[in-house]
C-alpha cells in the first residue's frame, strides 16, 4: 500500500471523520504531515503549547491521565484539547510501539474545522466522552476521600 492509501485507510477508521467523503479525507491528508516516533518517545508533553493535533496511522501510544493510561491506536486522535482550547497540553502522550501519525498544525486544523462542521461536531462528542471519563475519576476519588 502506498502512503496515501495507508493514510486514507486510517482516516476512514477514525470515527471523527466517518461522515467525510474521499475528497474531504484527501483534504485532511493534505493539511497534515506524516511523523514517526520510536517506542518510549514522548509525542506531546503536559504543559507544552498546543501547536498541532495528531491522528494515529499505525502503532500505538498511551496517554497518562492521572495514573490511568488510555491506549491510542490506528484511527484514534489526540492533541486536540490544547489546539481547541488554546491552553497548554493536558497530559503527556508517549509512543508505546513505533508510531506513525498525521500531524495537523493548529492553524490548518482550525481552518479545516470551519469548513467541515460535521467534523467539529464529532470532535465535540469525543470531548464529552473525555470529560465524562474525568468526571468519573473525580467522583471515584471524592467518594474515596469522603
Q: Which residues bind ligand CMP (CB under 6 A)?
A: 44, 50, 63, 65, 70, 78-82, 89-91, 93, 130, 133-134
CA atoms within 13 A on the CB side of 95: 21
Nearer to ligand CMP, 4 or 128 (CB): 128
CA separation, residue 2 to residues 6, 7, 28 (Å): 6, 9, 17
Give the number of other Cβ atoms within 10 Å of residue 73's Cβ. 15
Q: How far is the CB of 109 from ligand CMP (least distance, A)?
A: 11
Residue 43 near residue 101, CB atoms below 8 Å: yes
Nearer to ligand CMP, 3 or 139 (CB): 139
Nearer to ligand CMP, 111 or 131 (CB): 131
Q: How far is the CB of 10 from ligand CMP (least distance, A)?
A: 16
**Burial, 143: exposed, middle or buried (Cβ in 10 Å; 0-12, 13-18, 19+)?**
exposed
The dihedral region occupied by 48, where left means phi > 0, alpha psi between -120 and 50, and beta the remainder, is beta
Q: How far is the CB of 82 from ligand CMP (least distance, A)?
A: 3
Q: How far is the CB of 91 from ligand CMP (least distance, A)?
A: 4
Nearer to ligand CMP, 16 or 20 (CB): 16
Amino acid at each position: 500500500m502506498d502512503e496515501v492509501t495507508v493514510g486514507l485507510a486510517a482516516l476512514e477508521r477514525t470515527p471523527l471523520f466517518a461522515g467525510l467523503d474521499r475528497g474531504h479525507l484527501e483534504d485532511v491528508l493534505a493539511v497534515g504531515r506524516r511523523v514517526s516516533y520510536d517506542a518510549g518517545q514522548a509525542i506531546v508533553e503536559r504543559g507544552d503549547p498546543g501547536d498541532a493535533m495528531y491522528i494515529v496511522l499505525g502503532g500505538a501510544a498511551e496517554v497518562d491521565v492521572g495514573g490511568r493510561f488510555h491506549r491510542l491506536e490506528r484511527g484514534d486522535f489526540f492533541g486536540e484539547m490544547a489546539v481547541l482550547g488554546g491552553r497548554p497540553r493536558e497530559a503527556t502522550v508517549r509512543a508505546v510501539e513505533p508510531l506513525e501519525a498525521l500531524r495537523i498544525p493548529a492553524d490548518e486544523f482550525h481552518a479545516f474545522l470551519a469548513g467541515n462542521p460535521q467534523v467539529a461536531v464529532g470532535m465535540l462528542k469525543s470531548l464529552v466522552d473525555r470529560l465524562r471519563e474525568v468526571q468519573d475519576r473525580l467522583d471515584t476519588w471524592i467518594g474515596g476521600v469522603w
